[in-house]
Structure 1
Amino acid sequence: MNVSPVVVVAATTLALLAVTAAVPRFRRFSSLARAAPVAVLVGIAAAAALGTLDAWTAAAYAAVVTFVATGIAVLSVGEGRAAVRRVRGRLLFGIPWGTLLVVAGVAAFYLVVQFGAAGSPLVVPFVSWSYFYPLGIVTSAFAHASLGHVTGNLVATVALAPLAEYAFSHYPTERGQSSFGSLRTNPHVRALVVFPGVVLAVGLLTGVFSWGATIGFSGVVYAFAGFALVRFPLATVLAVSVREVLSLLWTVVHDPITYASASSSFSTPWWAGVSVQGHMFGFLVGAVLAAALVVRRENRPSAARIWFGAVVLAASMSLWAVWWYGAADEYVLFRALGVLLVAALAIVLTAAVRADATTLVRDVSTRKVAFLVLLLPVVTMSMVAVPVNLTTVADADLPGDPVEVRGYEVTYAEDVTNERVAGVDLPYFSQATNVTASGVIVASPEREVWTEEVSASRLGFYGDQSVTVGGVGWKESVGVHRRGWVPAGASAVYNVYVTPPEGETRHVYSSGNATAAPVVAGRQVRVTSSSGGFDLDVLRNETVVDSTGIPGRNETADAGGLTFVRNGSRVFAEYGNTTVSIASPETYE
């Protein structure tokens, strides 16, 4: 059938609820609420029976509905009912409206502005490249690099943000204040304006004070975690576990059954993509805001809860993953330094929240000193971010003949200076910023963009890749292709080509040459790459005596007394009765 499964499920659910409502004793809202999950499950079963929904997807939907229904049922009795009453006492109608608005806004940005609904998202223009590129600074916190990236951050937001919103409270918590006495105490304003506004401000802060090029909502997610941790340490640790459950439910709906087999793949270490500074900055901003709030409200948690909560949270959310660039395609993880950082964070956070008003010097109290110690890394990171983000790449010319797409330049290069990292001048740490790049380079001087979008190793593994460039309301894809030959006993020789959105494929890079190991009649054969093609040089005593192009499939060519035969994909060199394999095409996954 061509009927949408959504239509089948919705129609069945509404029909069953209508039948239920027709019975007088079941017309109460509570009865209909209990009947709703059963009606949805029947609708899913009907969709599966009619063939509009496959069995595994139906099972996944049924599992999610069962999870949700069971959770609601548990919250409707005993301690669960008391918890719901407490939530309704702080959140408008018991719903975290601010969280829902934030999730909807971030999802809409990804789906619409980044063209995520069409498949591959547009990323490059929404990265915080420099203060001289305001669009990236403003949008980087709300944009994402992939579907998995945005999904992970939104799942974490759903798990952690409601706890932060509960701590903030839609209703005023001070004794004697009326909920509708002013705009500041109006629960509708606090839920729909103030909380989302604070989230927006924190997102802008993470974009402004990030160290270099960053993208993603994770800085704000960590701010939720830091804010919630200071007020409800153990509940926040539980929320991190809830994040894993929500992630599982999303995965089972998105991919209810997976088939896998052993195969080669290309990947970088997971921690190499972690924005440690952005996460730590967001976490500390949230912690500072919460510390000020709990001290003013005088509802500080115990030192033990804060310390253990901070350690568990920081460890489980990878705040210890401190890394930097190594050699080409290498990364260095400073795990020991990261663990020390987590320990220091737990101590400082505990001191800032639990310090009392005991006077140290004149009017300086222990509480003020502890709060300043917590605030110090936030200020320090902000001060470091300013010179980092004032760097430019306007004079960074790309080698070769790059393809131009509306102000972007795309090319391929190897062992060139990474202009984005090298643009940061750190006294005594020049070696750390002397990083080279090899791969597909995308640059745009007017946007302060310079980035290695695809590494040389990745292109060598897959052979064909594409990069997407664009801006608000437009995007274009540029294809990059590597083709090469592997001489027997030597490294690959290859050319790289770039295909613009409109136009012919262009040759942009030739690798070094390589000589095959076999010796035939005192001669060796060298494979060379030049002008987008491949040649065979015949060498005697390392001197070129003759050259020819690589013959076509099932063809031959003569050079330097040797006959080259292309048998299938391989090239053989023949001399008399001697036949030796010289080269074979490079293969890709």
Structure 2
Amino acid sequence: MLDIPGWIPFHRLAAVAAFLVAFVVLSFVDRPRRLMEPLRRRFLFGLPLGTLVSIGGVLSVYLFVQGGLSTWYRPLVIPFRAWSYFYPLGMVTAAFAHSSAGHLVGNLVGTLTLAPIAEYAWGHYPTRRGSTSFGSFAENPYVRALVIFPAAVFGVGLLTSVFALGPVIGFSGVVFAFAGFALVTRPLTTILAFVSGRVLRLFYDALQNPEVVATARPVFSSPWWAQIAIQGHAIGLLFGVLLGIWLVHRRGADRPSAYRSFAGVLLFAVSESMWAVYWFRGTDTFVLFRAIGVALVVSLALLVALTVSASNKPLRDHAPANSVFSAERWQVGVAVLLLATAALTGPAILPNLFTAADDDLPGQSVSVRDYEVTYAEDVPNGLTAVVDVELFGESTTTNTSGVIVKSQQRGIWTTAVSTGRLAFDGESTVRVGGLGWRDTVTAVRDGFVVSGTGESAYRVFLVSNDSVTLAHTTEPIQAEPVVAGRNISVVPTESGYDLAVSSENGSVRGPMPSQNVTTTLDGIRFVRQETFVFAEYEGTRVRVARQETYQ
């Protein structure tokens, strides 16, 4: 049997070799020249230079602005979200920053596969009749590739931040704009490129983690559909569709059939879960409107297909000039798309006009420059409770619990770590900062699950720059078992935990027993065995608490 040394990355080499062999074999069967010739007719040197410049810009933001160069998997995120119009830094950076390495890679792969199609349709060489390359600034191929296309990408990114609902972050809105632009001109090619992006991402994941071992264990996670910025994706797609329709009608270019357009938009929208319309219902609770979402994506695909395939003829022949019926048919579709875009972007304007209130945070907080960090439970969410709106019976007013981060200067108020997440992990680090600086605050939880209640008595500490602050303690929790007519409670304190024994004659308290050390209260002996706490009385032994354990 062949013995392969452990230091050789055999699995990674196998994945790379498979692609190289496929490329070499296909190059002999179908020469690459057939592919490069049409690319050179539309691209400088046959390369989508505008796409590459855009990718370089997004990657630079992650590496140098967010600090991904030193902490690839844990970048600085909070100050670069689109919090409000009163915080311009977040509005400018949100579309080009990312929350994690996986988030970044996913959007770069989407850009690499979809943006070249949009750039190809735009072209580095002017196509307008009578125009010549280098005839003017706008017709200069280098300007079109290296200036105009990246500038358009930046403009669309800024629009997705300005009109996004909530403190969004990520380049996905622009990726969806690339998709919308490409779907208008080459719908089936776009779907093929989209699928090829999945293959490229699989190849990247195979190199990163060639082997994955999974075991059954409890996992804390919100629903996958509640992690999608559906509104930002939708407005990005509509921006791209509108730009694409403007281009094809301006140039008088051939347009795909309505069936192709409908199929392309529908397949893309469904594959990217644009039907996942949801709302939040309090802490860690969400509701998905699946049927409504399906109806919306089908309607969108139909509208785009009808608009792209519509002719330049007026609605009614011989209609009076400047009347409604003199409008060209495709312009009617554009008007409806503009109304849909306004309906999606309009609701974001009012919330983005508000900023964090100047009220003090509840409990004990930790200050890091202009940031305040605390832990609180069941407090009004500072971003969602400003305006109370009812939609499908769901209210925007919610209470939140967890590690709260506030910056009055930046207009930031957010629950950085939910109570459920901290209870699952036991410890979580929050990164705060700004341009050129970053710092951390770590939330640490300890506690005891009280028998028969399903509840925990616990404490939360905040650790910052070697200082420890007790931010939160729960009220005493009474265990369900009654021993010798006495009730037993677990009581969190600043220094640790106490046990309280109460009866009709009064109450006594004492320290929680540690390993090999017992506590006797009102005739009841308490012992600790590993993570369990037992009460013993005249030969009866009852478990009253269990120390929390975390994943």
Aligned partner of 2:395 in structure 1 is 432
Distance change (3 Å), C-alpha of 1:50 and 1:175:
farther
Whether the aligned pair in 2 keeps the contact of 1:209 and 1:386 (CA below 8 Å) is yes
Which of 30, 34, 44 does residue 82 from structure 1 map onto?
34
SS at match of 1:505: strand
Instruction: Count matched residues.
Output: 537
If asked which structure has higher relative contact order (CA below 8 Å, sep 6+), I would say 2
Q: CA deviation at 1:341?
A: 0.9
Report the counterpart of residue 328 of structure 2 in structure 1.
365
Give 5+ residue unaligned stretches, structure 2.
321-325
1:114 aligned residue:
66
Deviation (angstroms), 1:261: 2.2
**Which residue does the alignment assign to 1:91?**
43
Q: How far apart in 2 are the matches of 1:203 and 1:277?
A: 14
Identify the match of residue 316 of structure 1 among 259, 271, 276. Answer: 271
Q: Secondary structure at the match of 1:419?
A: coil
Between the aligned partners of 2:368 and 2:527, the Cα distance in structure 1 is 42
1:515 aligns with 2:478: yes
Cα offset, 1:59, TM superposition: 2.5
Compared CA separation, residues 474 and 73, structure 1 to 2 (3 A)? farther
| Superposition map of 1:454-493 within 5 A | 454-490=417-453, 491-493=455-457
Shift of 1:406: 1.0
Aligned alpha-carbon RMSD (Å): 2.1
Instruction: Tell whether 2:234 aligns with 1:270.
Output: no
CA distance in 2, matches of 1:523, 1:451: 43
399-408 or 52-61: bigger deviation: 52-61
The corresponding residue for 1:573 is: 535
Residue in structure 2 matched with residue 416 of structure 1 by the alignment? 379
TM-score (normalizing by structure 2): 0.93
| 8 Å CA contact retained: 1:554, 1:568 | no
* TM-score calculated relative to the size of structure 1: 0.87
What is the CA-CA distance between 1:427 and the residue it aligns to? Answer: 6.7
Change (3 A) 1:340 1:73: farther
In the other structure, the counterpart of 1:38 is: none
Measure, in 1, the Cα distance between the counterparts of 2:393 and 2:386. 11
Does residue 554 (structure 1) correspond to residue 516 (structure 2)? The answer is yes
In structure 1, distance between residues paired with 2:279 and 2:271: 21
Residue 149 of structure 1 and its aligned partner are, at CA, apart by 0.4
User: 2:54·2:150 contact (CA, 8 Å) conserved in 1?
Assistant: yes
Q: Is the 8 A contact 1:484 1:586 kept in 2?
A: yes
Q: CA deviation at 1:521?
A: 1.3
Give the letter aligned to residue 223 of structure 2. P
Classify 1:202/1:60 alpha carbon distance in 2 versus 1 (closer, same or farther; 3 Å). Answer: same
- Write the letter of the residue equivalent to 1:278: G
> Is residue 498 of structure 1 aligned with residue 469 of structure 2?
no
1:355 alignment partner in structure 2: 310
| Alignment of 1:251 onto 2:215 | no
- In structure 1, give the amino acid aligned to 2:40: R
Question: Is 1:396–1:419's contact at 8 Å kept on the other side of the alignment?
Answer: no
CA–CA distance in 2 between the matches of 1:555 and 1:49? Answer: 54
Report the equivalent of 2:55.
Answer: 103
1:431 Cα offset (Å): 5.1
Aligned-pair CA distance for 1:150: 0.4
Deviations 1:539-579 (A, max 9, x none): 215x7521112123211222222222233432222223333
2:387–2:397 contact (8 Å) kept in structure 1: no
User: 1:580 offset after TM fit, Å?
Assistant: 2.3
Higher helix share: 1
Q: What CA distance in whole angstroms lies between the structure 2 residues aligned with 1:331 and 1:124?
A: 23
**Aligned equivalents of 1:182, 1:50: Cα separation in 2:** 61
Structure 1: how far apart are the matches of 2:25 and 2:126? Answer: 32
Aligned to 1:37: none
| Matching residue of 1:143 | 97
Is the Cα–Cα contact under 8 Å of residues 442 and 452 in structure 1 kept in the other structure?
yes
- For residue 203 of structure 1, the aligned residue among 140, 157, 168 is 157
Shift of 1:421: 1.3
User: Cα deviations across residues 372-428 of structure 1 (Å, max 9, x unaligned)?
Assistant: 111222233333322121011123432101111111111111111111111244377
2-side partners of 1:297 and 1:223: how far apart?
20
| 3-state SS, counterpart of residue 405 of structure 2 | strand
Pairing 1:294–2:248 present:
yes
Which range moves more in the overlay, 81-90 or 276-285? 81-90
Are the aligned partners of 2:177 and 2:238 in contact in 1 as well (CA < 8 Å)?
A: yes
8 Å CA contact 1:482, 1:497 repeated in 2: yes
For residues 44-88 of structure 1, what are the alpha-carbon distances to aligned partners after superposition, in whole Å with 9 as ceiling and x for unaligned? xxxx999874322333333344455456556526xxx43431121
Q: CA deviation at 1:482?
A: 0.8
Aligned to 2:357: 394
Query: Which amino acid is 2:265 matched to?
Result: A
Residue pair 1:328, 1:436 contacting (<8 A) in 2 also: yes
Partner of 1:54: 9
2:535 maps to a residue whose letter is: A
- CA change 1:247–1:519 in 2 (3 A) is same
Say which SS state the counterpart of residue 446 (structure 1) adopts: coil
What is the distance in 2 between the residues matched to 1:407 and 1:265? 34
Give the 3 Å change call, closer, same or farther, for CA 280–73 of structure 1 in structure 2.
farther
Between 1:448-457 and 1:371-380, the stretch displaced more is 371-380
| Cα distance in 1 between the residues matched to 2:202 and 2:23 | 13
Aligned partners of 1:74 and 1:471: how far apart in 2? 54
2:107 aligns with one of 126, 131, 153: 153
CA contact (8 A) 1:75 1:84 kept: no
Q: Deviations over 1:219-256 (max 9, x none)?
A: 00000000000000111111111111111111112122
* Correspondent of 1:583 among 533, 538, 545: 545
Aligned amino acid, residue 336 of structure 2:
V
The CA distance in 2 between the partners of 1:74 and 1:202, in whole Å, is 41
Identify which range, 356-365 or 67-76, moves more after superposition.
67-76
Q: 1:75 to 1:88 in 2, by over 3 A?
A: farther
| Residue of structure 2 in register with 1:212 after alignment | 166
1:371, 1:456 → 2: CA distance? 46
After TM superposition, which residue ranges in structure 1, 4 or more long, deviate above 6 angstroms? 48-52, 427-430
CA distance in 2, matches of 1:469, 1:57: 36
Match of 1:21 in 2: none
Which of the residues 285, 290, 298 maps onto 1:330?
A: 285
1:483-508 deviations in whole A, cap 9, x for unaligned? Answer: 001222122111111101x1321111
Residue identity in the other structure for 2:36: V
Q: Is the alpha carbon distance of 1:466 and 1:275 closer, same or farther for their aligned partners in structure 2, counting shifts above 3 Å?
A: same
Q: Whole-Å Cα distance in 1 between the matches of residues 388 and 347 of structure 2?
A: 11
Deviates more, 1:569-578 or 1:472-481: 569-578
Q: Distance in 2 between matches of 1:522 and 1:198?
A: 75
Distance across 2 between alignment mates of 1:449 and 1:278:
20
The partner residue of 1:539 within 493, 496, 502 is 502
Range that drifts further, 384-393 or 206-215: 384-393
Closer, same or farther: CA 520–49 of 1 in aligned 2, 3 Å: closer
The alpha-carbon deviation at position 271 of structure 1 amounts to 1.2
Change over 3 Å in CA distance of 1:573–1:394 after alignment to 2: same
Distance 1:484 1:390 in 2: 40
Separation in 2, partners of 1:343, 1:401: 50
| SS of equivalent to 1:336 | helix
Q: Distance in 1 between matches of 2:264 and 2:409?
A: 45
CA contact 2:375–2:472 (8 Å) conserved in 1: yes
Which one is further off, 358-367 or 167-176? 358-367
Partner of 1:42: none
